[in-house]
Structure 1
Amino acid sequence: MSDVFDVISTIGVVPVIAIDSVEHAVPLADALLAGGLGVAEITFRTEAAADVMARLRDQRPELLLGAGTVLSPDQVKRAMDAGAAFALAPGFDPAVVAAAEAAGLPFAPGIMTPSDISLATARGCRLMKFFPATPAGGPSMLKNINAPFAHLRAKYIPTGGVTLDTMSEWLSLPEIAAVGGTWIAKPEDMRAGDWQAIEAKARAAVARAKELRG
């Protein structure tokens, strides 16, 4: 894995964020940083995503910035141009993996089945997003589908249905690099300008990760 993913593994939690407004970018970053969380995955689920990343690159360079929901080679380029240091996707697309590799962008494709893992590891991927983590069967499911690939020392970021209360179930597994936290910065909190709520959730997530990982 890349140095960027090593940093993410040390942190233990990545907030997964769908942000509607560029004007919310800096207040969001400040809330996360105040809560001790120095990483963010800005998903391409909104039209504002690339502009949000560019603003964070320029105004909050201390935040480790990632792009999420990267579904095409064009989005790989847009993520790089906007300053993303890493990228993730909900599924495995060999064209996107190839584009990220060619661009030198650390990339984690999404997996949900042994076939997905087989395809991703064959392309050299050693960090993958397990999505949707809870609906797909939770920690037990991931532990079992990863078993035939354990010798490859792959790592995973489960995302989708993970909560503060279930973090311990995931982070206790040796194959988990970090959890994806969609609960940390919800769209409704950003629209309401409730940055204190986001800061509090970020702080609680960081504290839980440190508690679990020592």
Structure 2
Amino acid sequence: MHLDALLNAGAPPIVAILRGLAPQEAEAVGGALVGAGIRIIEVPLNSPEPFQSISILAKAYGEACAIGAGTVLAPQAVDAVAAAGGRLVVAPNADPAVIARALERGLDVMPGVMTPSEAFLALSAGARRLKLFPAASLGVAHLKALGDVVPEDAGLWAVGGTNAGNLGEWLAAGAAGVGVGGALFRPGDAPSLVAERARALVAAWKIAAGP
């Protein structure tokens, strides 16, 4: 499923970043996330056999979730994500070639930016959502300043150092959403622990979003 449809239906704007996920963990961890209310799942490509994990997740949860890849650094990797059933491409950088290939394949794309120059490069290449990375070292003031100059419809997603404790701060600063990695999942974590952390994130989002 695509991000627009999910978010318009009220899904939390939270990307679960499953760095280091192994294929044998994929279905159970994905189920824990979905059961807790998370609907956007990313498997970084520096994980073991990432395309296999993406395929497993897409087959099990792709009808109700946006499943995709992170750390996508080349157009050829975009093709592999699409072949695995992924619908989301996330990158740590703003590469126009990656953005263009994702759009050609009909995938959602979220390139990484730090500066206004990178943000406008990504937007000029066709991106509609931007990943502010690494968010924790930049801070909420940086996000606010960047948000003042990019178009209002360009969603800034904070990624890096985000968790249930500071999610509300990022949203209050203007973030359209967050990506959460180590505070949600680390290789070998039990699905029950992942579910507990995911529920805390969703609860924090509901408080921040208000009635």
Q: Same fold (TM over 0.5)?
A: yes
Residue in structure 2 matched with residue 171 of structure 1 by the alignment: 171
> For this pair of structures, how many residues does the alignment match?
206
> Which deviations, in whole Å up to 9, do the C-alpha atoms of 1:131-171 show, x marking residues without a partner?
00111x2111111123222x443111111111211111101
CA contact (8 A) 1:8 1:177 kept: no
User: How far apart, CA to CA, are the structure 2 residues paired with 1:155 and 1:162?
Assistant: 17
Structure 1 position 188, deviation (Å): 4.2
SS state at 2:135 partner: coil
> What is the aligned-residue identity percentage?
30
Question: 1:202 pairs with 170, 175, 198, which one?
Answer: 198
Instruction: Give the partner amino acid of 2:33.
Output: L
Q: Which runs of 4+ in 1 moved over 6 A?
A: none
User: How far apart, CA to CA, are the structure 1 residues paired with 2:52 and 2:178?
Assistant: 25
* Matches for 1:19-38 after TM superposition, within 5 Å: 19-38=20-39
CA contact (8 A) 1:97 1:109 kept: yes
> Which deviations, in whole Å up to 9, do the C-alpha atoms of 1:86-128 show, x marking residues without a partner?
1111100111111112111111111001110121122222211
Residue in structure 1 matched with residue 15 of structure 2 by the alignment: 14
* Matches for 1:39-188 after TM superposition, within 5 Å: 39-61=40-62, 62-135=64-137, 137-149=138-150, 151-174=151-174, 176-182=175-181, 183-188=183-188
TM-score, with length taken from structure 1: 0.89
Aligned CA RMSD, in angstroms, stands at 1.8
User: How far apart, CA to CA, are the structure 1 residues paired with 2:155 and 2:141?
Assistant: 15
User: How far apart, CA to CA, are the structure 1 residues paired with 2:79 and 2:120?
Assistant: 26
CA contact (8 A) 2:141 2:173 kept: no
TM-score, with length taken from structure 2: 0.90
CA contact (8 A) 1:8 1:14 kept: no
CA contact (8 A) 1:29 1:63 kept: no
Structure 2 CA distance for partners of 1:200 and 1:38, relative to 1, 3 Å: same
SS state at 2:89 partner: strand
SS state at 1:77 partner: helix
User: How far apart, CA to CA, are the structure 2 residues paired with 1:64 and 1:101?
Assistant: 15
User: How far apart, CA to CA, are the structure 2 residues paired with 1:5 and 1:164?
Assistant: 23
User: How far apart, CA to CA, are the structure 2 residues paired with 1:94 and 1:146?
Assistant: 21
SS state at 1:187 partner: coil
Structure 1 position 55, deviation (Å): 1.2
User: How far apart, CA to CA, are the structure 2 residues paired with 1:31 and 1:119?
Assistant: 37
Gaps of 5+ in 2: none
Structure 2 CA distance for partners of 1:5 and 1:130, relative to 1, 3 Å: farther
Structure 1 position 77, deviation (Å): 0.5
Instruction: Give the partner amino acid of 2:196.
Output: A
Instruction: Give the partner amino acid of 2:3.
Output: V
